[in-house]
């Protein structure tokens, strides 16, 4: 039986309020949700083709099934790994069959659990080169962060006939990675885009950033890349980025609710408007 908890519905209602431009605090709250939502299991489900959702109410984790094993995208916090494992098994898969572990970007809420997943499954852990320094600092329990293959923009990751492509979309982190893949369902083939992130969190410095002098240009380049990607099924490192709470109850009631190319464009419009608003404010403050 499908369900969506009341806190998630409350977040959804907040997210759907019409706004011209969000503030960074509002967008952060939309994506992160409540502390409870970071940990609460969202019902695991098939998205389309061989792609499944195994994350929490506010942290997106995705499973790709192939004849040669499984690919997991985002281990989330280390404390979320047990929940992800339960979701994988509720879908009828074996957690130990995860052969490859990928991630969206080097923040703990998306990749802190990498070492534990590696320990439990022996999966090959892959990460974008520009995120390696930040990932090496994510060491829950002082465990070294595993990185078995360093990726670069445009690299392909293939397992059992399924190929994912890594797109460097920096700004949110230096190596923020957007994943694309093609999936088949029925007689159709669909382009999936899993946005790493283009969010400007509270406190992000877009002007006179000594650590990342060209951060604003990196964001702008990422928007250009994302807008160039063909997308039928938009997904993201936080499920609010593709309105999961509203789409999930529609599963099985007509067409696949996750096929939403217009939603992809709308999300990019909202995120870019916020970015440009913050950039303008920071430039005026100089």
CA atoms of 245 and 229, how far apart (whole Å):
24
- Paired residues of 99 in beta bridges: none
Average pLDDT over residues 158-165: 98
- pLDDT on residue 15: 44
* pLDDT in the model for residue 49: 98
Going from the N-terminus, what domains does the chain have, and what CATH number goes with each? Answer: 6-284 (3.60.15.10)
Q: Is the pLDDT of residue 9 over 90?
A: no
The answer to whether the Cα torsion of 78, 85, 30, 285 is positive or negative is positive
| pLDDT band per the 50, 70, 90 thresholds, residue 19 | low
**Cβ atoms 67, 161 nearer than 8 A:** yes
Q: pLDDT tens digits, residue range 214-270?
A: 999 999 999 999 999 999 999 999 999 999 999 999 999 999 999 999 999 999 999
Q: Has residue 12 got a pLDDT over 70?
A: no
Query: 4 pLDDT exceeds 70?
Result: no
Ramachandran class of 126: left when φ > 0, alpha when ψ lies in -120 to 50, beta otherwise: beta
Lowest mean pLDDT among 4-13, 17-26, 118-127, 169-178: 4-13
Burial of 172 (0-12, 13-18, 19+ CB in 10 A): buried
pTM above 0.75, yes or no: yes
Q: What is the mean pLDDT of residues 145-157?
A: 98
Tokens 């997943």 -> residue: 117
Strand partners, 98: 70
């Amino acid at each position: 039986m499908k369900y969506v908890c009341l806190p998630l519905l409350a977040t959804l209602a907040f997210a759907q309020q019409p706004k011209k431009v969000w503030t960074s605090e509002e967008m952060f709250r939309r994506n992160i949700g409540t502390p409870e939502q970071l940990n609460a299991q969202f019902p695991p489900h098939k998205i389309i083709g061989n792609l499944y959702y195994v994350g929490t109410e506010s942290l997106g984790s995705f499973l790709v099934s192939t004849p040669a094993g499984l690919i997991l995208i985002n281990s989330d916090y280390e404390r979320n790994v047990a929940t992800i494992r339960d979701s994988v098994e509720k879908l009828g898969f074996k957690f130990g069959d995860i052969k490859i572990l990928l991630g969206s970007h080097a923040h703990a809420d998306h990749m802190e659990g990498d070492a534990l997943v590696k320990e439990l499954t022996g999966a090959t852990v892959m990460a974008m080169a520009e995120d390696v320094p930040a990932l090496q600092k994510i060491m829950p329990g002082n465990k070294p962060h595993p990185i078995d293959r360093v990726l670069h923009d445009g690299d392909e990751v293939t397992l059992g006939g399924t190929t994912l492509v890594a797109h460097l979309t920096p700004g949110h982190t230096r190596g923020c990675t957007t994943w694309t893949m093609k999936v088949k369902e029925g007689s159709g083939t669909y382009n999936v885009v899993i946005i790493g992130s283009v969010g400007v969190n509270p406190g992000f410095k877009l002007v006179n950033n000594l650590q990342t002098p060209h951060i604003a240009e990196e964001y702008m380049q990422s928007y250009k890349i994302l807008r160039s990607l063909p997308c039928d099924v938009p997904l993201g490192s936080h499920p609010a980025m593709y309105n999961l709470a509203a789409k999930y109850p529609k599963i099985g009631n007509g067409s696949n609710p996750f096929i939403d190319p217009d939603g992809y464009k709308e999300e990019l419009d909202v995120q870019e408007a916020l970015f440009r608003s913050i950039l303008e404010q920071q430039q005026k403050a100089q």
